[in-house]
Homo-oligomer: A and B are copies of this chain.
Amino acid sequence: MIVELISTGSELLLGDTINTNVAWLAREMNKLGYTVAFQSTIGDNPARMEECFRLAASRADLVVCTGGLGPTQGDITRPSLAKAIGLELELNHDAERMVKAFFENKGREMPDPSRREMMLPVGSEALNNSCGVAPGVAVQADGTTYILLPGPPAEMKAVFDESVRPYLTKYFGGQGVVKSHRYAVYGLRELELEASLMDLVKTQQNPTIAFLIKNGYIELRITAKAMTLEEAETLLAPWDAILRERLGDSLGRRLEKSMLELVTDALLEAGATVATAESCTGGLVGKRLTDMPGSSAYVQGGVISYSNEVKHKVLGVPQDELDTYGAVSEQVAKSMAAGTRKLLGTTYGVSTTGIAGPGGGTATKPVGLVYIGVSGPEGTVAYRNDFIGDRESIRQSTAERALYLLYQAITGKK
Contact = CB atoms under 8 A, between A and B. Distances in A.
Contact of A26 (B12, B42, B153, B290): B12
A359 B36 CA distance: 33
B15 A25 contact: yes
B18 A18 contact: yes
A286 B293 contact: no
State how many copies of this chain the complex holds. 2
Contact of A14 (B27, B151, B189, B276): B27
Contacts of A152: 213, 389, 393
A302 B286 CA distance: 11
A154 B393 contact: yes
A294 B27 contact: no
Contact of A359 (B284, B293, B310, B344): B293
A33 interface: no
Contacts of A178: 14
Nearest to A202: B73
Interface of A: 7, 9-20, 22-30, 36-45, 48, 55, 70-74, 111, 113-114, 131-132, 151-155, 157-158, 178, 180, 189-192, 194-195, 198, 201-202, 210-213, 219, 221, 223, 276, 278, 281-287, 289-291, 293-296, 299-307, 309-310, 314, 343-345, 356-359, 388-393, 395
12 contacts: A11-B210, A40-B41, A44-B210, A74-B211, A131-B390, A153-B390, A154-B392, A278-B283, A281-B287, A291-B391, A293-B356, A301-B304
A212 B390 contact: no
